[in-house]
Amino acid sequence: MKGSAYLIKQYLLKSEVPPQTLLTAFARGMNHSSNEVKQAVAISTTFISRTSDVSIPPVLFKTLVPLLVNGTKEKNSMVRANSEHALVAFLKLRAGDEVLQTCLSALDSGAVESLQDCINKTLKKIAAQQHEPKEEEFDDSLLI
């Protein structure tokens, strides 16, 4: 997951759209049976969001946002919390709703409804908190 996150980040930094095969493989982690893998996807999405100030291509919204919204409904509290924080970071909700509006225009109607429901229930509260959660150290041993 983390290797995929670094690769996606590099594509975004070069203003390129990551290949759909890479995004699909990355997103499949959210459907994995292991909660640790789901957490890794959410944490990796937060990493991508925090290190990339570039515009996010619509295909990334279409691929990741619905899965993260589903992650906010998980029974496991760590998966749920990491998914919520990943959505706040990915949609840059603390900085306004510009990225959110771009995302909403890229999603289909069912995904839009689910995302708006999630925003109204939890994400607004998280985004309104004064402090951002401590940024987790992201293992860079893959880069060596």
What digits encode the pLDDT tens for the residues 13-61?
998 999 999 999 999 999 999 999 999 999 999 999 887 677 889 999 9
143 is a domain residue: no
What is the C-alpha to C-alpha distance for residues 23 and 69, in angstroms, rounded to an integer? Answer: 16
In a domain, 62, yes or no: yes
Per-residue pLDDT band at 87 (split at 50, 70, 90): very high
Tell me whether residue 20 is in a domain: yes
Whether 23 is in a domain gets the answer yes
Residue 83: CATH number of its domain:
1.25.10
| 142 is a domain residue | no
- Residue 117 within any structural domain of the chain: yes
Side chain identity, residue 129: Q
pLDDT of residue 135: 57
Could you tell me the maximum CA-CA distance found in the chain, to the nearest angstrom?
43
For the entire predicted model, the pTM comes to 0.87
Q: How many domains are contained in the chain?
A: 1
Residue 93 lies in a domain: yes
State which residues form the domain around 40. Answer: 2-131
Query: CA quadruple 123, 124, 127, 129: dihedral positive or negative?
Result: negative
- Domain membership of residue 72 (yes or no) is yes
Q: What is the dihedral of CA 79, 80, 82, 85, to 10 degrees?
A: 170
